[in-house]
Amino acid sequence: MNAAFATDPTFRSLDGLGELLPRLARRWSDRVALVTHSRTLTYSDLDLESSRIASVLHARGIRPGDRVALYSQNRWEWLAAFHGVLKLGAVANPLNVMLTAEEVAYVLHDAGTKALLASGERLESLGDGLDVLPQLATVLSFDEKFGRAEAIVDVLAALPDTKFEVVAVDPDSLACIAYTSGTTGHPKGAMQSQRSLVLNYAYTATMHGRVAEDVVVTALPAPHVYGSVVIHSTFMAGGRVVLQERFDADDMLRAVESYGATMVEGVPAMFAMMLASPLLGDVDLSSLTRCTVGGQTIAESVIDEWERRTSVPLIEVWGMTELSGLGTTHAIHAPNVHGSIGVAYPGVEVRVADLEDEAIDCAQGERGQLMIRGPIVTMGYFNNPDATAEAITPDGWLRTGDVATHDGSGRFFVVDRLKELILTGGYNVYPSEIERVLMGHDSVALVGVARELNEVLGEVAHAYVVLAPGHHPDEGALLAYCREHLAAYKVPRAVHFVETLPTTSSGKLMRRKFSESVTS
């Protein structure tokens, strides 16, 4: 394997992520690092642009430890800004583009953010929400000047041409505060150390055998940990990232053919939609060598079909914001067991704990809570010691909230989220189990299952189905199919046919909003 960190001694002592681009630029100055809709950048280009942004922020008083927020869709400026922040020894605060103005204001206030770099589109969505944040001294727009935001292109044009020196950091210092989605209550800021980020990217590159010849197509949002891992593990190997601004199934397929992509990476819904695209049979996907999927449980039928259509493995990954990215996957040359999230990363411990007594390890095949410990685990939640204590045991085990099993050979299998469990008539029903079955029906392109209240049973499952091209609604056929493959109490009480399903910015299905997709 010719990944940079494996063959070049300069990559073996990477204390902080701010050092990464300068080292890559020295090794692969003219190699293309990033392709976006507006610009293609070499490693030297990206290094230079990030240093220019670091210089701007330094001139505006940003110092090591200060928090700087980034708020935009995927674009090269976002990545340049991210590395500019880290070169300063400051703390990056990536914002989910789906946050409301009120949520953004909360996050910026909670983190004590001193600077915000955002797209014009996102700044417009905030309205006057920034006016209540006196500590926010600097606002820069990736686009035109907007309100109190200066246009960064104008600021950079006036910048003296001086070389920027990366600030040295402690590997255990805070590098990033990534706020969770906050489905209930306020979002929580997971603190990610320099070490956890560097290790996660390096381990991912190693497990998936990334090399300098790789071309990776992704629409995963850069602010999301999965998106960040995909980008930076590819950079660590000297590969090329083709970054889509937003996910579109046809655009992704065309990009594979156009750029000769070796990898496509995304969440289950993305692969389901690409498989349902009429364009699938018309594009050349022969350049692919392996793909990865994560973010939610995936139906084995989707993995089987993608592998049949591409002749390459679709490797499951599993991770969390609280892990700076991924925690388990299959190594590229190991067996790719469908339905399994793989094995633990190097130096990381994973176990399945009894749901009633987490001190007890579950036996093989028994369902319990997935727990993880090691150097990639969050430093805790920013300004929230109570939430930290609730999530992490005194001896360092992170309670993931995922229900899982293990096979006794080091492989793990996620069943569902604890919070998404449906209690129907005293029985436990896992939405993902029903989804996996329904995805096996020819008429189903995409499906999501959510709970609905029921006066008799407490809660019941409802299925929301996006039909495959050429098929027509037939609730009876789908319910009959479920009865063939599921126990009676797991069969959905209703099937709703919808045009689309609501997703997060990273493409995960949002079960709590499924009912809103039903039209009368």
Domain 38-169: assigned CATH number = 3.40.50.980
DSSP 3-state of 250? helix
Q: Is the pLDDT of residue 42 over 50?
A: yes
- Each residue's pLDDT tens digit, 369-398: 999 999 999 999 999 999 999 999 999 999
Token pair for 469: 């091209």
pLDDT over 90 for what percent of the chain?
74
CB-based contacts of 284: which residues, under 8 Å, 6+ apart? 256, 257
For 410, which DSSP code? Answer: S
Spell 348-383 as b/e; 16+ CB within 10 A means b: bebbbbeeeebeeebeeeebbbbbbbbbbbbbbbbe
* The pLDDT of residue 297: 81
Name residues whose C-beta falls within 8 Å of residue 114's C-beta, 6 or more positions apart in sequence: 61, 62, 66, 67, 68, 135, 136, 137, 138
The answer to whether residue 1 scores a pLDDT higher than 70 is no
Domain ranges of the chain: 38-169, 196-418, 421-517
**Residue 285 structure tokens:** 């996907």
Mean pLDDT value across residues 165-183: 89
Query: How many CB atoms are located within 10 Å of the residue 484 CB?
Result: 8
Work out the number of other CB atoms within 10 angstroms of the CB of residue 75: 20
Q: Which of 267-271, 298-302, 343-347, 428-432 has the lowest mean pLDDT?
A: 428-432
Q: Decide whether 38-169 matches 421-517 in CATH topology.
A: no
Fold category of 421-517 in CATH:
GMP Synthetase; Chain A, domain 3 (3.30.300)
State how far the Cα of 483 lies from the Cα of 485, in Å rounded to an integer.
6
Compute the average pLDDT of residues 284-302: 92
State the average pLDDT for the chain.
91
Is-contact 502 517, C-beta < 8 A? yes
pTM of the model: 0.86
**Dist. CA 157–CA 98, nearest whole Å:** 31
Q: Is 99 helix (H, G, I), strand (E, B) or coil?
A: coil
pLDDT tens profile 478-487: 999 999 988 7
For the stretch 96-154, pLDDT in tens is 888 888 889 999 999 999 999 999 999 999 988 787 788 899 999 999 998 888 999 99
| 237: DSSP letter | T
CATH number of 196-418: 3.40.50.12780
Q: Are 509 and 501 in contact (CB under 8 A)?
A: yes
Q: What is the pLDDT of residue 183?
A: 47
Q: Among 202-216, 442-456, 501-515, which is the least confidently predicted range?
A: 501-515
User: pLDDT digits over 246-286, tens only?
Assistant: 999 999 999 999 999 999 999 888 999 999 999 999 999 99
Region 403-425: mean pLDDT is: 88
pLDDT band at 295 (very low <50, low <70, confident <90, very high): confident
Residue 5 has a pLDDT of 52
